[in-house]
């Protein structure tokens, strides 16, 4: 468990170190282009190796997003060509309705198609991302006022929101900006207000998921899916909360989102182990042999780098330092090394870990994850250049 004092003695990454780490990350993305041109890396690696898969998971956008980040860093045409080529795959996926009956339209379409449009003005990318926004809108539940994450719409067993969905909201804010139709933005704000109201607990930790009553829309209670237990702090959920509140503030500068950001971030930092690489769930800390989830550190760092833009200078400086400490720790302990037998970037991430109190199976435990690689690279791009946010 960290105190403010122990945390603040940890070194921050320098801009030069961030630049070197970014070059190293981009070298791996370059290595991967030919294998994952017509295909996508799996959500997580197996023995540190991603294999080729179809565009049918919630994670595919993170590969295209890595290509865009690499393009922004290098301006090499090969990255741009590969990323633009994949737009068609995302379009087909929506048209053929391949695993799109869930809320993860933002994770899929923001770093792929919205990024493509923002960076190149590609019209098919714009149209595809707008289709994805419309698809997401279909999952809004008036009773309870939230986007139902998974399952058949209106299934009482699945009548819940999940904290991860905060990162699906930028697709809707973008859609309102593009179409001048405020319905996307208004619906996103209704969801965010509901989420923040119920998912953040009294002690500033967060639930992974929160159920509502199908008939009345009344709040029922929090539960976990991927965390260790219902009342524990799933590290990645807490990190989605950090980045999600920063993004909420970006689009709607209401001080309540700064307050949520402060609470969720403080709780996250307090629960880090000494080496600052989060355990997959904060039921575990120094001395535990449970695996880590490095991706949570990367997501949290991106959220802090985003929020630092909006805070008063003194607080912004502190938050920036916190993000740099997390990135130093990830670079020191988790960045792949030349000669490692891996095609991933960030080691020691955990997709899902089973416990006696959750219902998930072990998947991608202590492996690379596509979003871990993406958010680590995004954080380094944020630190080393002026970056126009995809989210």
Assigned token pair, 186? 């208004």
Q: Among this protein's residues, is 164 annotated catalytic?
A: yes
Question: In Å, what is the CA distance from 27 to each residue of 31, 70, 114?
Answer: 6, 9, 24
- Cα–Cα distance list, 304 to 81, 167, 196, 207, 266 (Å): 31, 14, 18, 20, 11
Pairing verdict, β 140-141 and 52-53: unpaired
Q: For residue 303, what are the contacts with CB-CB under 8 A and spacing of at least 6?
A: 239, 242, 243, 244, 245, 246, 247, 261, 265
Nearest approach, Cβ of residue 226 and ligand GLY (Å):
6
**For ligand GLY, the closer CB: 236 or 322:** 236
Nearest to ligand GLY of 211, 240 (CB atom)? 240
In terms of Cβ atoms closer than 10 Å to its own Cβ (0-12, 13-18, 19+), residue 202 is: exposed
- Least CB distance from residue 208 to ligand GLY, whole Å? 9
Residue among 176 and 226 whose Cβ is closer to ligand GLY: 226
Minimal distance in Å, beta carbon 107 to ligand GLY? 7
Site residues for ligand GLY per CB under 6 A: 164, 226, 236, 351
Candidate list 57, 164, 281, 366, residue with the active-site label: 164
Q: How far is the CB of 101 from ligand GLY (least distance, A)?
A: 16
Question: Angle CA(27)–CA(112)–CA(70) in degrees, nearest 5?
Answer: 20
Closest CB to ligand GLY: residue number: 164
In terms of CB distance, is 73 or 103 closer to ligand GLY? 103
Active site residues: 104, 164
């Amino acid at each position: 468990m960290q105190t403010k004092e122990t945390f603040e003695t940890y070194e921050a990454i320098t801009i030069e170190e961030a630049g070197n780490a970014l070059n190293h990350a981009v070298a791996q993305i370059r290595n991967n282009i030919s294998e994952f041109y017509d295909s996508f890396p799996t959500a997580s690696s197996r023995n540190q190796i991603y294999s080729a898969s179809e565009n049918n998971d919630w994670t595919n956008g993170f590969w295209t997003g890595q290509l865009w980040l690499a393009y922004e860093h290098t301006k090499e045409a090969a990255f741009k060509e590969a990323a633009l080529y994949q737009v068609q795959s995302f379009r087909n996926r929506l048209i053929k309705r391949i695993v799109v009956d869930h809320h993860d339209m933002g994770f899929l379409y923001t770093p792929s198609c919205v990024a493509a449009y923002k960076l190149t003005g590609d019209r098919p990318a714009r149209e595809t991302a707008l289709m994805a926004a419309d698809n997401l809108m279909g999952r809004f539940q008036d009773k309870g006022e939230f986007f139902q994450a998974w399952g058949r719409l209106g299934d009482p067993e699945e009548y819940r929101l999940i904290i991860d969905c905060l990162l699906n909201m930028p697709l809707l804010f973008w859609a309102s900006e593009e179409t001048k139709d405020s319905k996307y933005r208004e619906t996103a704000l209704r969801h965010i207000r509901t989420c923040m109201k119920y998912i953040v607990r009294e002690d500033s930790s967060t639930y992974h998921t929160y159920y509502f009553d199908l008939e009345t829309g009344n709040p029922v209670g929090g539960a976990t899916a991927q965390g260790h237990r219902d009342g524990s702090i799933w590290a990645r959920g807490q990190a989605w909360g950090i980045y999600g509140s920063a993004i909420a503030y970006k689009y709607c500068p209401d001080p309540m989102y700064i307050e949520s950001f402060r609470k969720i971030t403080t709780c996250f930092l307090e629960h880090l182990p000494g080496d600052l690489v989060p355990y997959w769930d904060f039921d575990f800390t120094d001395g535990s042999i449970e695996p880590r989830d490095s991706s949570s550190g990367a997501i949290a760092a991106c959220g802090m780098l985003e929020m630092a833009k909006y805070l008063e200078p003194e607080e912004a400086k502190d938050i920036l330092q916190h993000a740099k400490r997390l990135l130093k720790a990830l670079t020191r302990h988790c960045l792949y090394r030349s000669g490692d037998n891996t095609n991933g970037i960030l080691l020691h991430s955990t997709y899902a870990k089973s416990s006696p109190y959750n219902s998930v199976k072990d998947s991608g435990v202590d492996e690379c994850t596509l979003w871990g690689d993406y958010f680590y690279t995004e954080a380094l791009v944020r630190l080393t250049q002026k970056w126009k946010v995809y989210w």
